[in-house]
A and B are shown apart, each in its own frame.
Chain A
Amino acid sequence: EVQLVESGGGLIQSGGSLRLSCAASGFTVRGNYMSWVRQAPGMRLEWVSIIYNDGTTYYADSVKGRFTISRDNSKNTLYLQMNRLRAEDTAVYYCATLLPGGFYYFDHWGQGTLVTVSS
């Protein structure tokens, strides 16, 4: 059974850094496309970043240059390093797997971790 468990969220001051983790089980992170998707309180979902199985990464313009997606194959864990955080980064952050094909269908999701950036 596929499971994704996020951790690392919390309250942080504007300009600070956080690293989110997403521990995976039931599959290997290195063999799958994986993404981070966030949802600000009461708002729509917003794609943040993706890492392909070959290691290629892409980012939303709103986080480019500040966030870094990575994975540790030995720990079967996905990460999101978030630097220079802003109030508008406040959201629940979900990690998710994608169906094969690269069309951004997010088929498994974690429970989410809340990041609150205080100004």
Chain B
Amino acid sequence: QSALTQPASVSGSPGQSITISCTGTSSYLGDYNYVSWYQQHPGKAPKLIIYGVSNRPSGVSNRFSGSKSGNTASLSISGLQAEDEAHYYCSSYTTSSPPVVFGGGTKLTVL
């Protein structure tokens, strides 16, 4: 199933800003504000960086921000740093089954 669609890759130079999109359907993402984003470095566990569309867990840099419009959620990263190079996954909760789905992931390359 491909309930949530992300671009396969994005890139940016240090200091620049980038945005990663996550497009779903009304069943997944559109009707709910229960979107989260995860950062995953190679060989590591995912890390929650955004929940509830735009909330940051304690300790997450304010360079990360989230938003949503209709069936599309977005993750923005400002002031790109080398350490931001990772895969990013969006996720959405729903009252359907399964109760949560993930996007296919976006590889961020910092040039």
Contacts and interface: CB of A to CB of B under 8 A. Distances in A.
B45 A110 contact: yes
A105 B46 contact: no
Interface stretch (A8-16, A39-47, A74-82, A83-91): A39-47
A107 B99 contact: no
A45 B102 CA distance: 6
Interface residues of B, number: 23
Contacts of B12: none
Interface residues of A, number: 19
Contacts of B51: 99, 103, 105, 107
Interface of B: 34, 36, 38, 44-48, 51-52, 57, 89, 91, 93, 97-105
Interface of A: 44-47, 50, 58, 60-61, 94, 99, 103-107, 109-112
